[in-house]
Amino acid sequence: MTSKDPLGVDPFTSADPAMRIENLYRTHRATHHCISLYGPTLWTEEQHFSGRLTARRASPR
């Protein structure tokens, strides 16, 4: 799936190589930012869903 700008133009079909590199860089940064923010939560949810991670209960004292 290729990202598109608000005008519906594919940013990677530009005739200008510098523009394609800039768009690739921005996509890389946005992807990294998203993974940094949501990766741990998504991993935990997947582990709970698959049954590999169970919530620990506090041990009674």
Position 1 confidence tier, pLDDT thresholds 50, 70, 90: very low
Mean pLDDT of 45-59: 72
Confidence category of residue 47, pLDDT binned at 50, 70, 90 = confident
Taking the C-alpha atoms of residue 53 and residue 30, their distance in angstroms, rounded to an integer, is 29
Q: Model-level pTM? A: 0.51
Q: What is the pLDDT of residue 58?
A: 52
**Every domain of the chain and the residues it spans:** 11-48
Tokens of 48: 């709970």
pLDDT above 70 (res 50) = yes
DSSP letter for 55, please: P
Query: pLDDT at position 59, please?
Result: 54
Query: Measured between alpha carbons, how far is 48 from 52 in angstroms, rounded to an integer?
Result: 6
